[in-house]
């Protein structure tokens, strides 16, 4: 069959709502774009034009033409063996979006997709189409689905009234002031136009969504929200880190075995919980400084920008400043914790470090006969609260910026003990902290708990446990853990438990 006819039949089989979503996912705002010699404003206007004309004319002709052009580009594209190109990213995004929406063109060349994944050095687990979807876009899609057709025009009206958001943007005028959102798919087109517009003028990002939240907060709840949804519910969904679908993120496990009984148990527990959480896991036993440098280099590869989060378990001996490596060398803890969060592939994404080691030799010693031979080792302000906000400092958009971000932002570091103190271990099961952390995370999958809630529960749980030193003094003591957070959003555990045998293969 002629390819033009195939493309036409494919487009005619897609609903208007899915066309709008396919356009949105395909024009992912964070996709690599050329910067040398290009006019960003003109490029952004051109990208937004199909959405603007569809809303204005109630006609999907320009979106159809955009999708046809994409399909033709991919059909003629020859995959270059070594160099990763902009088209490679676009091809993977397009394929994953089609797969997610169940509209994969029957004529799409899956061998090319496999060849592109080879260029990214993707493993079998990483060839699951869900890895290629941007989790922030999926959250925004759910926000759109939570709004009635009448709700999005209310956001549009609020945006049009703010001159700082529309100044000099031609596509804004194409849509006009009043919009009829009732024809199928128009609500989605208008919402996605608003989102991409705010991204392109650098008012929102995958982490900074305050400006979008403020537009939603100005909607009338009774007419704007779908049944079972509220304005607060929608805004709360934007205040969590986007970690939708599988995988939850990338997990690195570093474990030193020397003079650490139960180290293998620690690896097994952390691997088990990372798999249940839906993470793709890499383990390094007995790491050295060279190992860590190689891991850092690996995490800089382009494929890691598809991941939604990064988690690291580092289990070793240590003191107040450093961690002991397998070759007997020490590594400054601060160097490790400042160099890994700065990896560009994980910028604006949650990064969690579990540092399991002593931070000193002190013990919270328990005195008295009754403790002998007893141990485990034998709001943010509501946006609508005008009266409160009127009494607060007025921070205008002109003094806000989301372009520059401190490297440690979106990072959480969890320590197995408090400064200058020991981190306890069981004779055969390794770190008690690791054991309790894995148990609590496993118990709280699908309960909607945030990581910090679990860490607070872990702090309570761990501090109830009596431990005993392994030396001749047999001192009974308690251990306390803590964490330092630079998070800007809430990180919730996934709602789905992923079984151990859940292995995802490359597209066939």
* pLDDT per position as a tens digit, 444-474: 877 888 999 999 999 988 988 888 877 777 8
Rounded CA separation 156/436 (Å):
48
> Is pLDDT of 380 > 50?
no
Our count of domains for the chain comes to: 3
Confidence of residue 402 (pLDDT cuts 50, 70, 90): confident
Same domain assignment for residues 59 and 141:
no
The residue out of 133, 151, 183 marking a domain boundary is 133
> Is pLDDT of 369 > 80?
no
Residues 6+ positions from 337 with CB-CB distance below 8 Å: 353, 355, 411, 413
- pLDDT for position 40: 55
Same domain assignment for residues 262 and 188:
no
Residues 6+ positions from 275 with CB-CB distance below 8 Å: 281, 498, 499, 500, 502
Same domain assignment for residues 261 and 179:
no
Residue 423 falls inside a structural domain:
yes
Rounded CA separation 142/134 (Å):
13
Same domain assignment for residues 126 and 155:
no
Residue 345 falls inside a structural domain:
yes
| pLDDT tens sequence across 304-322 | 999 999 999 999 999 999 9
- pLDDT for position 405: 84
> Per-residue pLDDT averaged across 79-105, rounded?
91
The residue out of 133, 157, 185 marking a domain boundary is 133
Same domain assignment for residues 421 and 457:
yes
Percent over 70 (pLDDT), the chain: 88
Residue 396 falls inside a structural domain:
no
Q: Say how many CA atoms lie within 13 Å of 326 toward its Cβ.
A: 16
Residue 495 falls inside a structural domain:
no
> Per-residue pLDDT averaged across 381-392, rounded?
45
Residue 377 falls inside a structural domain:
no
> Is pLDDT of 496 > 90?
no
CB contact at 8 A, 34 and 42: no
Same domain assignment for residues 55 and 115:
yes
> Is pLDDT of 429 > 80?
yes
> Per-residue pLDDT averaged across 36-54, rounded?
71
Task: Give the predicted TM-score (pTM) of the model.
Answer: 0.85
- pLDDT for position 249: 92
For the chain, the average pLDDT equals 86
| pLDDT tens sequence across 318-338 | 999 999 999 999 999 999 998
| H runs (alpha helix) in 13-101 | 16-26, 40-57, 61-76, 86-101
- pLDDT for position 38: 41
Same domain assignment for residues 313 and 418:
yes
The residue out of 101, 133, 165 marking a domain boundary is 133
- pLDDT for position 32: 43
Same domain assignment for residues 221 and 84:
no
> Per-residue pLDDT averaged across 200-207, rounded?
90
Residue 493 falls inside a structural domain:
no
Same domain assignment for residues 412 and 284:
yes
Same domain assignment for residues 185 and 67:
no
Domain with 338 in it: what CATH number?
3.40.50.1460
DSSP 381-420: --TT-HHHHTTS----GGG---S---TTTTEEEEESS-TT
Residue 475 falls inside a structural domain:
yes
> Is pLDDT of 443 > 90?
no
- pLDDT for position 82: 77
Confidence of residue 383 (pLDDT cuts 50, 70, 90): very low
- pLDDT for position 393: 59
Same domain assignment for residues 231 and 259:
no
Same domain assignment for residues 341 and 424:
yes
Residue 376 falls inside a structural domain:
no
**Among 163-177, 196-210, 229-243, 258-272, where is mean pLDDT lowest?**
163-177
Range of the domain at 466: 249-362+405-486
- pLDDT for position 503: 38
CB contact at 8 A, 192 and 136: no
How many CB atoms sit inside 10 A of residue 416's CB?
30
> Per-residue pLDDT averaged across 51-78, rounded?
93
> Is pLDDT of 195 > 90?
yes
């Amino acid at each position: 069959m002629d390819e033009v006819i195939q493309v036409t039949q494919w487009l005619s089989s897609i609903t208007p709502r899915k066309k709008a979503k396919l356009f949105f996912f395909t024009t992912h705002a964070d996709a690599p774009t050329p910067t040398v010699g290009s006019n960003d404003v003109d490029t952004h206007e051109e990208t937004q034009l199909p959405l603007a004309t569809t809303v204005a004319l109630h006609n999907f002709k320009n979106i159809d033409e955009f999708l046809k052009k994409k399909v033709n580009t991919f059909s003629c594209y020859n995959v270059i063996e070594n160099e990763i190109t902009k088209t490679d990213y676009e091809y993977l995004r397009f394929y994953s979006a089609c797969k997610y929406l169940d509209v994969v063109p029957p004529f799409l060349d899956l061998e090319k997709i496999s060849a592109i994944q080879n260029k990214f050095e993707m493993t079998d687990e990483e060839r699951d189409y869900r890895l290629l979807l941007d989790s922030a876009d999926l959250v925004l899609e759910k926000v759109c689905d939570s709004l009635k057709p009448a709700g999005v025009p209310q956001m549009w009206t609020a945006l049009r009234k703010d001159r700082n958001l529309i100044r000099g943007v031609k596509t804004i005028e194409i849509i006009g002031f009043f919009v009829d959102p009732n024809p199928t798919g128009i609500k989605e087109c208008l919402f996605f136009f608003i989102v991409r517009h705010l991204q392109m003028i650098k008012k929102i990002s995958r982490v900074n969504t305050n400006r979008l939240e403020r537009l939603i907060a100005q909607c009338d709840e009774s007419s704007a929200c779908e049944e079972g949804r509220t304005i607060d519910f929608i805004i709360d969904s934007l205040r969590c880190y986007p970690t939708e679908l599988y995988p939850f993120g990338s997990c690195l496990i570093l474990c030193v075995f020397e003079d650490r009984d139960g180290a293998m148990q620690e690896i097994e527990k952390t691997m088990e919980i990372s798999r249940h959480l839906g993470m793709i896991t890499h383990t390094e036993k007995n790491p050295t400084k060279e190992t860590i440098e190689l891991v850092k280099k690996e995490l800089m590869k382009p494929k890691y920008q598809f991941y939604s989060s990064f988690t690291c378990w580092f289990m070793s001996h240590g003191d107040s400043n450093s961690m002991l490596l397998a070759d007997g060398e020490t590594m400054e803890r601060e160097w490790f914790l400042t160099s890994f969060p700065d990896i560009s592939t994980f910028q604006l994404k949650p990064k969690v470090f579990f540092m399991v080691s002593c931070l000193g030799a002190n013990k919270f010693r328990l005195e008295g006969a009754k403790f002998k031979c007893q141990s485990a080792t034998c709001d943010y302000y509501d946006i609508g609260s005008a009266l409160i906000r009127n009494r607060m400092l007025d921070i205008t958009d002109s003094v806000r910026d989301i372009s520059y971000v401190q490297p440690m932002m979106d990072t959480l570091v969890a320590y197995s003990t408090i400064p200058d103190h020991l981190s306890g271990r069981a004779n055969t099961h390794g770190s008690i902290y690791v054991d309790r952390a894995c148990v609590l995370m496993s118990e709280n999958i699908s309960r909607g708990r945030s990581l910090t809630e679990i860490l607070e529960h872990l702090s309570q749980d761990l501090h109830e446990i009596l431990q005993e030193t392994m030396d001749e003094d047999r001192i009974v003591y308690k251990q306390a853990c803590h964490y330092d957070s630079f998070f800007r959003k809430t990180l919730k555990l996934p709602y789905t438990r992923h079984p151990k045998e859940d292995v995802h293969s490359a597209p066939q």
